[in-house]
Structure 1
């Protein structure tokens, strides 16, 4: 048995796979909520699929930006990631619309939530790219000994 545990950060997980998992989560959670609402166990708001879509978009944004640190070609990863985020946003909105029978405007403030999550995603990606550059610079720098200050 292999005693070495591999970190998730040592692997590059495709943004397409991440988006597919997030969309699957939106569908499963929304359908389960619809089923719970139909059985009468508890009351589920009609706008719940929109909340589920926004939540999984935020999860995608967080995990995708963190996992971008381990990518070999950052610009290619970013391009794929942004297209996957846009596809996820559109597909999740479609699922939410079909399951809730509410448009984004009718569901409340979900248009603004989509905008905030989109901007937050770009901020997350930028922060991770900056963090990656700082780490690469620190790894290239030679650390011989601290400089002695004159008093």
Structure 2
């Protein structure tokens, strides 16, 4: 069992080095999760779980022709659905961009109008002040 602990520890160290070198925490998390699951299984009195991700499952090698055809139809259907979804999102984005451009244009128009109204207000204020000064009226 000592060799197994050393192997697990080595795997954990390698995962930590990979995480450090790539800047991603995923390899380390995977190894820690595997270690946690194994230790929990052993503490519950269960056998050690051995999973080999490099082997191809036997079931996929034994698919019948109709299953293969059904799988291909599903993949094609999924591709079409994905294209349709991406097209919808693209159209939606374009519409939002048009709305945004329209609103920005309207905002500029309104800001320009505000500036004109402020200038008009200031000009009127100046006229009123001149009239008041001409009649020697004191302002409070």
Whichever of the two has the greater Rg, that structure is 2
Higher share in helix: 2
TM-score normalized by structure 1?
A: 0.24
TM-score normalized by structure 2?
A: 0.26
Structure with greater contact order relative to length (CA < 8 Å, sep ≥ 6): 1
